């Protein structure tokens, strides 16, 4: 029987805002608890009442800071230091697992005052300009206190090792494959004979929605029964709004933010999943979700996406920031329903490799390897 541990999962980002890092932590915490581990999730939070999660410890209020084409909401309050010191003394964690460890002061104070095994997971492929403007030098004393290093993908590893050389394990993000194969039904009103292309993500410029809208406007001439469903938080950028207006686009649905269950139902309602991101994606969680739902994919040929799918196997990887390449990839699927079924089936098999129970097993194995090494060092 495996030993159980007291584990802190730490995010520097506002935990009230959905995103890749916070979703990763939430799923990992759930998997740890199911195995009998004691888990605390520690993060700044702008809306504590919105968090319904066992073991959540709010730590400071976040403020918005521009970062890598997006906005990071982190806490920079120096008053957190004594609160974190008190928490560490009370909990006596075996492992403190920090995700993006150099984001705000929550992670910094956790590292600087910890006597536990400190492990960091780096999620980003490219971030803001923190490292480029001297942030590496500021972060190096904290980096030296890290006993374990994880990158979620080869692109994330390639990026972070330029600033913080070391021995990294590559352990990917996970998805809950079972959630996509179980009960949620497609939306009935979307299974009306129209062919649905799904885009899912925050409506930020780097997600490339404008290229999909341009491709869609051309495709609509030959496939008048085509529909585009855009799921995600935010408003279309000015260019996207201009394209929709100038092309008088029909059958484009913007849903806004949706629940986890609705998210799965939109995947189930889609015929094709499309992700035209222009870069800054270290990993393709949305691609894995589409695969788990059995949907063929057309996505940009960026490194983060190429790390989870193979061109021609689960879909097509096309030149990024190129609406004509995107259009051709979509045409290949629109004109061949049997190909859509084949690629969707291939995707289902690929997604199983990233199921959360499997990813969690890798992480626990890594913890135990490092804890054993730490114990041996302390006795020598």
Say yes or no: 110 and 253 in one domain. no
- Residue 282, CA distances (Å) to 57, 126, 277 in order: 28, 8, 11
Residue 1 domain-assigned (yes or no): no
Say yes or no: 224 and 336 in one domain. yes
Say yes or no: 169 and 182 in one domain. no
Q: List pLDDT tens digits, range 151-206.
A: 999 999 999 999 999 999 999 999 999 999 877 899 999 999 999 999 999 898 88
Domain that holds residue 271: 177-353
Would you say residue 56 has pLDDT above 90? yes
Strands (E), 194-326: 195-200, 226-231, 252-256, 272-275, 297-300, 315-318
pLDDT of residue 73: 85
Residue 206, classified by CB atoms within 10 Å of its CB into exposed (0-12), middle (13-18) or buried (19+), is middle
Say yes or no: 235 and 134 in one domain. no
Residue 182 belongs to a domain with what CATH number? 3.40.50.2000
Is residue 66 a contact partner of residue 128, using CB atoms and an 8 Å limit? yes
Q: Total structural domains in the chain?
A: 2
Closest of 69, 48, 67 to residue 59, by C-alpha: 48
Is residue 69 a contact partner of residue 206, using CB atoms and an 8 Å limit? yes
Element (H, E) at 113: helix 104-113
Predicted model pTM: 0.87
pLDDT of residue 375: 84
What's the whole-number average pLDDT of the chain? 93
């Amino acid at each position: 029987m495996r030993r159980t541990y007291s584990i802190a999962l730490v995010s520097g980002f506002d935990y009230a805002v959905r995103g890749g890092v916070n979703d990763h932590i939430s799923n990992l915490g759930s998997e740890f608890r199911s195995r009998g581990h004691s888990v605390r999730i520690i993060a700044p939070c702008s809306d504590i009442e919105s968090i319904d999660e066992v073991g959540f410890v709010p730590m400071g209020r976040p403020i918005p800071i521009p970062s890598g084409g997006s906005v990071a909401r982190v806490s920079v309050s120096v008053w957190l230091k004594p609160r974190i010191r008190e928490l560490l003394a009370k909990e006596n964690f075996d492992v403190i697992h920090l995700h993006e460890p150099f984001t705000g002061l929550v992670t910094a104070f956790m590292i600087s005052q910890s006597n536990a095994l400190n492990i960091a997971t780096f999620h980003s492929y490219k971030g803001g300009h923190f490292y480029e403007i001297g942030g590496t030098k500021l972060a190096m004393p904290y980096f030296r206190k890290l006993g374990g290093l994880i990158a979620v993908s080869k692109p994330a590893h390639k990026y972070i090792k330029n600033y913080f050389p070391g021995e990294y394990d590559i352990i990917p993000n996970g998805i809950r494959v079972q959630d996509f194969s179980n009960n949620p039904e497609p939306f009935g009103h979307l299974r009306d004979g129209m062919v649905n292309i799904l885009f899912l993500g925050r409506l930020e410029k780097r997600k490339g929605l404008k290229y999909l809208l341009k491709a869609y406007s051309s495709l609509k001439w030959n496939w008048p029964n085509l529909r585009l469903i855009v799921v995600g938080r935010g408003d279309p950028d000015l260019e996207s709004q201009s394209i929709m207006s100038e092309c008088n686009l029909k059958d484009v649905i913007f849903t806004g933010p949706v629940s986890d269950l609705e998210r799965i139902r939109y995947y189930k309602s889609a015929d094709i999943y499309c992700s035209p991101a222009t870069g800054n994606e270290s990993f393709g969680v949305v691609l894995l979700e589409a695969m788990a739902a059995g949907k063929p994919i057309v996505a940009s040929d960026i490194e983060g996406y190429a790390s989870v799918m193979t061109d021609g196997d689960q879909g097509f990887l096309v030149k990024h920031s190129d609406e004509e390449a995107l259009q051709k990839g979509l045409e290949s699927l629109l004109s061949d329903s049997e190909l859509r079924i084949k690629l969707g089936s291939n995707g289902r098999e690929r997604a199983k490799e990233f199921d959360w129970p499997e990813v969690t097993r890798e992480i626990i194995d890594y913890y135990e390897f490092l804890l054993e090494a730490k114990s041996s060092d302390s006795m020598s």
